[in-house]
Structure 1
Amino acid sequence: MATNRHAQIRYTILDRCFNNHNRLFDYDDLLNEVNYVLFELGTEGIKLRQLQYDIEHMKSDAGWAIEFDETLKKGRKKAFQYQDKNFSIANHPLNVNDVEQLETTIAILSRYKHRAEFSWLEELIPRMEQAFQLVESGDNGIISYQENLDLKGREHIGTLFNMILKRKQVKITYEPYGKPEFDVVVCPYHIKQYNNRWFLFCFNEEYKSISNYPLDRITGIEELNASFESSTINWLDYFDDIIGVTKPEEGKVEKIVLRFSEQRINYVLTKPLHGTQKIYKEDQSNCSMTIEVIPNQELYQQLLAFGPDLEILEPAKVRLKMIDLIKETSNNYNYAE
């Protein structure tokens, strides 16, 4: 049985229902659950016959060979629930149809991975092939990735992504470090990952400006029916003149000259700090580089990480800021042995 995007959505909804051991679902309940989501996505609902076909496919070997607890009833009607309480198709190996579709999708994506705007596919494709075991047996340890599966806020990514797609205003409950949580109404625009952390960029209704909130400090999200303030920002360009995620409203781009030690310069050449990085030709040692960015907290954090291998030559205000930060750091170690 061929499957399409809507079929996969239906299987995911049914899987959630079958895996819910706090509630029983009969045919009517399952139809309501599936059609509610489909209507929200702006597509037609399904009839009982299609639902029955979907369930039979999930039970078949071509699907996931699922097994139900056949003893369950809701009133006089048959109820559906997995026999194995720990089963979910999300944790089950891919079926034949899934593998074929995924391989086709990867083949299509591979056509575009050499284009600049799709450079992220170079990492994504091998990651998918390994995660879904599409590599040859014994080759599943070729590559590993840095990630934190316990990172708070990951569960909000899908919700916020859909709110952005649907252009929905939301109320988020936010809990700053060491302060009481509060509610804020925003129009979500963009989600960005930086330094293994996710951030939401949005229009803040109270301050009438762009704000960003780390997802690990968001404790709740509520969809609102209020009007949505459209964004005029090109998010592909928004981060071009900064390092990280903080963009000071009154900040100006500065040409910063950085002199590295001979031991560190090759590292910087192979891993540029920023897309504007160039060799500083006025330095005959070839150990100096320039970048053109708006100074922010993330910039100084990166520069401090080079320790004694880096000296800021220009501009004076960035150099003085670095001197102050280094002095503050040094003061932490001014104690008697």
Structure 2
Amino acid sequence: MPKNKNFQKRITVLDECFSSRTGLFTLEKLGEVLHEKMGFTISRRTIQNDIDYIRELIENNLSNISDIDKCPVFVPKLFDGKKTAFRYVHTDYALGNQLLSKPDQEQLEETLAILSRYRNRADFDWLDALFPRIETAFNLVHEDYNGLISYQSNRDYIGQSLVGKLYNQLLRKKVLRIAYQPFQNADSYIRIIHPYHLKQYNDRWFLFGLQEDDNYTGITNLALDRIQNFSETDKNINENIIDWGDYFDEMIGVSKSEGDLPIKIKLRFDRKRIKYVLTKPIHGASQKLDSSNSEGNVIWIEVIPNRELYQTLLSFGKDVEVLEPTVVIEKMKEHTQKLKEYYTK
């Protein structure tokens, strides 16, 4: 039987019904409870299969300690009117008191292994307390994937502790009063934000939302490491109408001013470097190889010319040349001229 999310939820609901000492649960009544909890109708046959699964699981555990014929799982000959009802003989039969089946144990071990990747993040410090309790309760020894695979992260990032807290605010849909201090400001100031989206870029996190105050009204982003504190307001949030996938497809990074539009940019790479650019695109949403170039080292991208675009181009050093348009060429000249001044003093 497939153990998908719906299956697990059905089993949990049925287990609660069978453990109850109040009320009688026939197949029809179980169907009503499942419909209420799940939001859709569950067939009679599916419920019967779920009951058989639960009975078999508990019987397997009982067979190790007693004669199953003398200790049935469900109360025999229990009726509600003329219809058979289901109730555990003992409340101790509840699945929470049963040993894990082999598949469930493997699934739990895999889940722990996945979660172990996040144990070094400040907003997941609760995992340090949870892991030992689960491992002790179920006698598990899981494989810690940290010893096998690494992910890029900045453990010392100041804004890391706010990721989980702000994510909860996105779910709660609360308008926030945020004290924000840009690097160039000596003091923080208040920004009223309707929060919509969190994005990580270049090992930093950014909160996107609608700013609504006397200084500015429109979509903006705030670096989490510059947020001093925040609190909820009693304002009603303006519903998000932005498709964030499309929003970020127009640019590299996170910088975008209202009215900014993407432009086509033509780039020529060193022939040794172009292979890296093709396997790891600068901008996957728009990057295309220029078919008219016989050497196969010219590409087109269509993005908003923001700060992150120039940082990306400069990271290639001498291995890239901007061919079009003039506005990007001139901006690159400014950057490279400044670099030249550093090394010709």
TM-score bin, normalised by smaller chain: 0.5 to 0.7
Which residue in the other structure is 2:343 paired with? 333
Which residue in the other structure is 2:235 paired with? 226
Bigger drift between 188-197 and 153-162 goes to 153-162
Which residue in the other structure is 1:260 paired with? 269
Partners of 1:171 and 1:325 in 2: how far apart?
Answer: 37
Higher helix fraction (1 or 2): 2
Tell whether 2:149 aligns with 1:143.
yes
**Deviation, structure 1 residue 153:** 1.1
Tell whether 2:183 aligns with 1:177.
yes
Bigger drift between 285-294 and 158-167 goes to 158-167
Judge conservation of contact 1:129–1:135 (CA < 8 Å) in 2: no
Which residue in the other structure is 1:103 paired with? 107
Partners of 2:146 and 2:159 in 1: how far apart?
Answer: 28
Judge conservation of contact 2:109–2:143 (CA < 8 Å) in 1: no
Q: Letter of the aligned partner of 2:279 in structure 1?
A: T
Q: Letter of the aligned partner of 2:272 in structure 1?
A: Q
Partners of 1:105 and 1:320 in 2: how far apart?
Answer: 56
| 1:64-103 equivalences in 2 (<5 Å) | 100=104, 103=107
1:210-246 residue CA offsets vs partner (Å, 9 max, x unmatched): 1100000001010111121222111122101100001
Which residue in the other structure is 2:299 paired with? 289
**Deviation, structure 1 residue 329:** 1.7
Q: Percent identity?
A: 42
**Which TM-score applies when normalising by structure 1?**
0.61
Larger radius of gyration: 2
Judge conservation of contact 1:259–1:287 (CA < 8 Å) in 2: yes
SS of 2:246's equivalent in the other structure is coil
Q: 1:137 to 1:174 in 2, by over 3 A?
A: closer
Judge conservation of contact 2:290–2:300 (CA < 8 Å) in 1: yes
Q: 1:265 to 1:252 in 2, by over 3 A?
A: same
Tell whether 2:220 aligns with 1:236.
no
Judge conservation of contact 1:312–1:318 (CA < 8 Å) in 2: yes
1:134-159 residue CA offsets vs partner (Å, 9 max, x unmatched): 99769752211221111111111122
Partners of 1:135 and 1:312 in 2: how far apart?
Answer: 54
Which residue in the other structure is 1:196 paired with? 203
Q: Letter of the aligned partner of 1:187 in structure 2?
A: H
Q: 1:186 aligns with which of 186, 190, 193?
A: 193
**Deviation, structure 1 residue 248:** 2.6
**Which TM-score applies when normalising by structure 2?**
0.59
Q: 2:161 aligns with which of 149, 155, 161?
A: 155
**Deviation, structure 1 residue 183:** 1.3
**Deviation, structure 1 residue 250:** 2.3
| 1:36-51 equivalences in 2 (<5 Å) | none
Partners of 2:189 and 2:159 in 1: how far apart?
Answer: 17
1:282-319 residue CA offsets vs partner (Å, 9 max, x unmatched): 21111111111111100000000101000000111111
| 1:96-135 equivalences in 2 (<5 Å) | 100=104, 103=107, 127-128=114-115
**Deviation, structure 1 residue 265:** 0.8
Judge conservation of contact 2:219–2:258 (CA < 8 Å) in 1: no
Partners of 2:279 and 2:270 in 1: how far apart?
Answer: 15
Bigger drift between 247-256 and 287-296 goes to 247-256
Which residue in the other structure is 1:246 paired with? 255
SS of 2:322's equivalent in the other structure is strand
Partners of 1:190 and 1:300 in 2: how far apart?
Answer: 24
Q: 1:244 to 1:295 in 2, by over 3 A?
A: same
Judge conservation of contact 1:253–1:295 (CA < 8 Å) in 2: yes
SS of 2:293's equivalent in the other structure is coil
Q: Which runs of 5+ in 1 are unaligned?
A: 5-95, 108-124
Which residue in the other structure is 2:35 paired with? none
**Deviation, structure 1 residue 178:** 3.6
Q: 1:278 to 1:126 in 2, by over 3 A?
A: farther
SS of 2:311's equivalent in the other structure is helix
Q: 1:167 to 1:102 in 2, by over 3 A?
A: farther
Q: Which runs of 5+ in 2 are unaligned?
A: 1-7, 10-99, 119-130
**Deviation, structure 1 residue 253:** 1.5
**Deviation, structure 1 residue 126:** 7.3
Partners of 2:300 and 2:106 in 1: how far apart?
Answer: 43
Partners of 2:228 and 2:266 in 1: how far apart?
Answer: 41
Aligned length: 226
Partners of 2:194 and 2:145 in 1: how far apart?
Answer: 44
Partners of 1:198 and 1:130 in 2: how far apart?
Answer: 18
